[in-house]
Amino acid sequence: MPRVKAPHKNLILAIVALAQFMVVLDVSIVNIALPRIYRGLHFSSAANLQWVITAYTLCFGGFLLLGGRAADLYGRKKMFMIGVSVFSAASLLCGLSQNTAWIEITRAVQGLAAAFMSPAALSILLTNFKEGKERNVALSIWGAIAAGGAAFGVLLGGFLTEYLSWRWNFFVNVPVGIIVIAATWYYIHESTADLDHKQLDLPGAVLATVGLILLVFGLTKAPTYGWSNAKTIELIGTSLVLLIAFIINEQHSKHPLVPLRIFRVKNIGAANLTQLPITASLYSMFFFITLYVQTVLGYSPVRSGLGFLPITFVVGIVAVFMSKVIAKVGYKVPLIIAPILMGIGLFYLAHVKVGGSYFGDVFPGLIIMSVGLGAVFVALTVAATTGVQHKESGLASGILNTSQQVGGSLGLAILSGIAASQTTKYISHHLTQPHVMLYGQVAGYHAAFYTGLGFAAVAFLCAVFLIHQPKGEKIEVNPSAGV
């Protein structure tokens, strides 16, 4: 069967967006199934259960820079198809898991595959859509998928877990992956960076990958070990030494993994720095509200998932309209307003209570945060990719995804530690109070949400002082946009 020579750009967008949806979905869809996985595979402790999440996060965050550069060097379509193929196969093996080691290893392979698949997908989008209105519209849809996919994952995970099995949270990726692979082979043309070499900076790849894995691992384990514990200091300290060595290597390498000149492109550094606290605050909302509605309000997995459904609709609607907003006012204004909305939403959620209700204590805060999320991810992606040459689109995509993963890991580590500390403190001061464990748990959520609000404030300051958009600068509008 011959390949289509000139597929419509919307079809290309649909293919890569569907793949990105799988990546985002796989982070949230598993969270809601963790209690069933715990019982089904007989985990020895709840602490060990975190490896179902951590194994994925470690490999995803650690290999993203390598995955992004490999797409530029060896072919975006090739790396994308390899990533989707391995991701789908690993998903099947995850669903077939018979013990804890099996699922932890296959989750790590999933994360590795996602690290090659996600930047390649965004790179295909960047190289097929012209900078300006055409790309902004495409990135608006991409942003809606990225931000709304997490909420939909909780809903889908609830239905699959309750009515089928936790294993179907992984099996669902297999038919989707097959469709993406077939459509990619048939419709998407191969492209590589216009470089005079195909050499991969192996020392840089090792330093960056090991350094990022140790950093994410250290941040994840810090609440368990303690932030001042020697193990935590050793892990994070070693990661920082390796990342400094990586920067030095990049300065002297003939063909660096991350040419540092890319940070001379306006706003790449600032946008990625802004994304760190944004994703840190986002993780606080999803993680702790999921716990609140299930353990405090007593919701089933399906009902919990339905509670997050409004986020999907609000984020999707806002994100789609963001291309028009950015065309009129640029990306800086949304990046200033969005963290304010997220902060207001987190402030509202910081007042959830024992004996509360979804519509009184959760729903308003979720809606306010959703408006901010729909705006911020689109604006961040536009800011972080505007001005990037096609030959470095995979690299820029990898950097953007890395900052998202590191920000999320940092946020969850800090917030989990603060919540646990506040819960312990509350219980020790209210030993005679009825249902003290439940009240202590909610007190921990309050502390986490307030800290998330602080992260949103940091993102606001980054947007105000670091994002540069000269007064009167126009975002190019291309009347022949293909979307």
At 401-423, the pLDDT tens digits run 778 877 877 787 788 778 888 98
Q: How far is CA 449 from the centre of its chain?
A: 19
| DSSP assignment of 50-81 | THHHHHHHHHHHHHHHHHHHHHHHH-HHHHHH
Average pLDDT over residues 257-278: 84
Place of tokens 């998932």: 305
CB atoms near residue 133 (< 10 Å): 21
- Domain assignment present for residue 284? The answer is yes
Task: Using the predicted structure, report yes or no on whether residue 214 has a pLDDT greater than 80.
Answer: yes
- Domain assignment present for residue 55? The answer is yes
Specify the 3-state DSSP secondary structure of 199: coil
To 10 degrees, the CA torsion angle through 442, 448, 454, 455?
Answer: -140
- Domain assignment present for residue 331? The answer is yes
**Angstrom distances, CA of residue 194 to CA of 9, 75, 197, 257, 392:** 22, 11, 9, 15, 9
Helices then strands, counting H and E runs in the chain, come out as 17, 0
- Domain assignment present for residue 173? The answer is yes
Task: Using the predicted structure, report yes or no on whether residue 446 has a pLDDT greater than 70.
Answer: yes
Average pLDDT over residues 91-120: 91
Q: What is the pLDDT of residues 285-317, one digit of tens each?
A: 777 888 888 888 988 878 888 888 888 788 878
Please give the structure tokens belonging to residue 323: 């291309």
Banded model confidence at residue 145, pLDDT cuts 50, 70, 90:
confident
Q: What is the pLDDT of residues 8-19, one digit of tens each?
A: 778 888 888 888
pTM listed for this prediction? 0.78
Q: Look at residue 198 in the predicted model and tell me its pLDDT.
A: 66
- Give the integer Cα–Cα distance in Å for 173 and 85: 10
- Give the integer Cα–Cα distance in Å for 334 and 314: 16
Banded model confidence at residue 387, pLDDT cuts 50, 70, 90:
confident
Average pLDDT over residues 458-473: 82
Q: Which of 289, 290, 420, 263 is nearest to 346 (CA)?
A: 289
Measured on CA atoms in the order 183, 188, 190, 193, is the torsion positive or negative? negative
Banded model confidence at residue 46, pLDDT cuts 50, 70, 90:
low
More confident residue, 46 or 438: 438
Q: Look at residue 477 in the predicted model and tell me its pLDDT.
A: 35
Please give the structure tokens belonging to residue 47: 């602490």
Average pLDDT along the chain = 83
Q: Look at residue 480 in the predicted model and tell me its pLDDT.
A: 31
- Domain assignment present for residue 243? The answer is no
State the CATH number of the domain containing residue 178: 1.20.1250.20
Q: Which of 250, 260, 263, 237 is nearest to 207 (CA)?
A: 250
Please give the structure tokens belonging to residue 180: 């993406």
Cβ neighbourhood burial of 45 (10 Å; 0-12, 13-18, 19+): exposed
Task: Using the predicted structure, report yes or no on whether residue 146 has a pLDDT greater than 80.
Answer: no
Task: Using the predicted structure, report yes or no on whether residue 85 has a pLDDT greater than 90.
Answer: yes
Q: What is the pLDDT of residues 325-335, one digit of tens each?
A: 888 888 899 99
| DSSP assignment of 234-294 | HHHHHHHHHHHHHHHHHHH-SS-SS-GGGGGSTTHHHHHHHHHHHHHHHHHHHHHHHHIII
Q: Which of 203, 207, 217 is nearest to 243 (CA)?
A: 207
More confident residue, 324 or 439: 439
- Domain assignment present for residue 390? The answer is yes
- Domain assignment present for residue 176? The answer is yes
Q: Domain total for the chain?
A: 1
Banded model confidence at residue 482, pLDDT cuts 50, 70, 90:
very low
Q: Look at residue 2 in the predicted model and tell me its pLDDT.
A: 46
- Domain assignment present for residue 238? The answer is no
